[in-house]
Structure 1
Amino acid sequence: MTTAAHPVFDADTLRRGVEADTSAPLVSLYADDAELRIVDRNTQPSHPRVLHGRDEIAALLDDVYSRDMTHTLEACVVQGDHAAYCESCRYADGVRVLSESVLTLRNGRITEQVTIQAWDE
């Protein structure tokens, strides 16, 4: 009897997703039932922006990756079914964004993500 292999989630896989030119590689890392919570200046901890499911997450990421900006994975730690990473982004006009994320993984896919982000003002 054979078992189905689960996708491997590691720092290199995440780097390829984050630093890609399109959102597709990053979207593929999410489970169908994933949840993403975003905390920033506009969506503070008591009322975070919450996206449910890969389709809602993909819509957000499609918008982000359609912008003229670069994405860099600064650091990543993966341990068992959890991961954490730092991403820095730069718009063409020089505006920078820094985000920190904590992930819960299941079978090599992201099931939960909490992201805190700060923008240049």
Structure 2
Amino acid sequence: MNFRYQTTGQTLVWQFKVGQRIVEFTPEAAIVLDVSDAVVEVLAAGGGVGMAASWIAAPYVERGLLVPVLSECAVDRTTITAVWPESRRANPGVKAFVAFLEEVFPTPSPWDAVIAARPASA
């Protein structure tokens, strides 16, 4: 099972941490979908092994419909970054918005905490 980006048509490259290296490959998959929600639905229905964003997979993991595998090899692939012009650094509106983002997206995120709390299968 794999994911295809709608904008480019390219399939998701899987990344794994092996020691100090990052290993990448794109598996041949019988099922390739271009909607993330559909990927986890198919996986939960028994469609095989796949990768999904933690924020999409977490509710399925919490309900026991998906089980994390190879967690020790996981690569942190997502970062939310707020950028703005240096000239606005002291702007109270910018500071308030960044504080809001930190509140909405704490570290670790609630969805990552759900996945981390679930025992992984090897």
TM-score (norm 2): 0.26
More helix by share: 2
Structure 1 or 2, whichever has the larger Rg, is 2
More strand by share: 1
TM-score (norm 1): 0.26
